[in-house]
Amino acid sequence: MSVTAAKGFTAAGIAAGIKENGNPDLALVVNTGPRRAAAGVFTSNRVKAAPVLWSEQVLNSGELAAVVLNSGGANACTGPKGFQDTHATAEKAAEVLGVGAGEVAVASTGLIGVLLPMDKLLPGVERAAAALSEHGGEKAAIAIKTTDTVHKTAVREGSGWTVGGMAKGAGMLAPGLATMLVVLTTDADVDSATLDKALRAATRTTFDRVDSDGCMSTNDTVLLLASGASGTAPEYDEFAEAVRAVCDDLGQQLIRDAEGASKDIKIEVVGAASEDDAVEVGRSIARNNLLKCAIHGEDPNWGRVLSAIGTTSAAFEPDRLNVAINGVWVCRNGSVGEDRELVDMRYREVHIVADLSAGSETATVWTNDLTADYVHENSAYSS
């Protein structure tokens, strides 16, 4: 499954020794053709890791033969040496695969500000190439994990073609893409412009609306590669929907595996004057630490939802705001609504509806609760 669900792809995942604990840390995904169309979406953080700078440049051609991904080090804030290391990684993959370095994307994840152990990474690329297989998708998905507790894959079947993918991400999940590395593959016969259009449309309403902790990464990378191996050129709408569905599925898996989380919170903003307003309000609620603590405590503290809405520039009148938590309209017209005791908060999924009463646009943003486990995981992360 994963990145090898679609025909025309091989993949591998190995332990190159980048991680000191010996876990798998290097993945290779190869497009065996016949076509090599590709598109990518990257972090909007202005501090970008070396592999992001490299891969953005490589993708200008609209073609990729392979992607090298490593966990165990982000290669971010590593200066000119870091960029040289990314370049050398692409060169090594190109050499062993018999392609050009300009056809190889690189993605890295892990601690910022540490150089990668190239004496382990480069031999690892050779070993990964030797391990490439049409069934290697799962191993590749496992090799890109950092604090993920499970590996994440998803597949959708079209009419004679397939879209599959893998993702990693557990912390630093925020709009402008979570700290995620995602590789999607398809055997549909699609050109790079179409891939780009479908991928941007998909990420805008999926990964871009997953906001676990409000922190935007330096390394976010989402790639979509097409081999054309199915020989089928799909209708755009059907193809775009399949890409969206795979992104949505992977995004949900990211939220469910977010660091330390005990609740998955779906924030549905309705009645907005514009979609931008709805997204702004959704993100503001998703980033409110006090609300996230309250949800952790199974406390339907709707006042914190209103406080968060009040910090936005969205169109609304305070005395027309309504808020439902798990189906109970605890706030009506900006004031006390139904009895908060009626709200059942025992389950993992929490559904907040914020009605701005200002129009008919909507947006849904996903986040998690804030827990002592999150604090613990992230206070001990680099040490």
Annotated binding site for substrate: 146, 168, 179, 259, 378, 383
Site membership for a copy of itself, residue 326 (CB under 8 A)? no
Label the pairing between strands 37-42 and 328-332.
unpaired
Q: How far is the CB of 373 from a copy of itself (least distance, A)?
A: 8
Q: How far is the CB of 292 from a copy of itself (least distance, A)?
A: 9
The helix (H) or strand (E) run that includes residue 377 is helix 372-379
Burial of 338 (0-12, 13-18, 19+ CB in 10 A): middle
Site membership for a copy of itself, residue 231 (CB under 8 A)? no
Pick 128 or 178: Cβ nearer a copy of itself: 178
Closest listed residue to residue 108, CA positions, set 188, 174, 156, 42: 42
Stretch that binds a copy of itself, among 2-10, 11-19, 54-62, 295-303 (CB under 8 A): 295-303
Angle 118-130/79-97 helices, nearest 10 degrees?
20
Q: How far is the CB of 287 from a copy of itself (least distance, A)?
A: 7
Among 1, 88, 114, 240, binds a copy of itself (CB under 8 A): 114
CB atoms within 10 A of CB 12: 24
Alpha-carbon torsion (374, 378, 381, 383), positive or negative: negative
Main-chain phi, psi angles of 42, to 5 degrees: -130, 165
Angle 50-58/79-97 helices, nearest 10 degrees?
50
Among 150, 193, 336, 342, binds a copy of itself (CB under 8 A): 336
Helix intervals (H) in 48-191: 50-58, 79-97, 118-130, 137-143
Q: How far is the CB of 369 from a copy of itself (least distance, A)?
A: 8
Site membership for a copy of itself, residue 347 (CB under 8 A)? no
Site membership for a copy of itself, residue 77 (CB under 8 A)? yes
Site membership for a copy of itself, residue 339 (CB under 8 A)? no
**Binding string, residues 80-109; x marks residues near a copy of itself by CB under 8 A:** -xx---------------------------
Stretch that binds a copy of itself, among 6-14, 187-195, 200-208, 334-342 (CB under 8 A): 334-342
Site membership for a copy of itself, residue 331 (CB under 8 A)? yes
Within 135-194, the residues that bind a copy of itself by CB under 8 A are 171-172, 176
SS3 244: helix
The helix (H) or strand (E) run that includes residue 203 is helix 192-205
Distance between alpha carbon 238 and the CA centroid of its chain, in Å?
22
Main-chain phi, psi angles of 366, to 5 degrees: -105, 140
User: Residue 262 contacts by C-beta under 8 Å, 6 or more apart in sequence?
Assistant: 296, 348, 369, 371, 373
Q: How far is the CB of 104 from a copy of itself (least distance, A)?
A: 24
CA separation for the pair 242, 282 (Å, rounded): 25
**Binding string, residues 33-72; x marks residues near a copy of itself by CB under 8 A:** ------------xxxx------------------------
- 194 catalytic, yes or no? no
Among 195, 302, 353, 356, binds a copy of itself (CB under 8 A): 302
Among 306, 320, 359, 361, binds a copy of itself (CB under 8 A): 306
Site membership for a copy of itself, residue 319 (CB under 8 A)? yes
Active-site residue (options: 10, 78, 179, 367): 179
Main-chain phi, psi angles of 259, to 5 degrees: -55, 120
Closest listed residue to residue 144, CA positions, set 331, 318, 288, 3: 3
Catalytic center residues: 179
Residues that bind a copy of itself (CB under 8 A): 45-48, 74, 76-79, 81-82, 111-115, 171-172, 176, 213-218, 287-290, 293-294, 296-299, 301-304, 306-312, 316, 318-319, 321, 330-331, 333-336, 370-372, 374-383
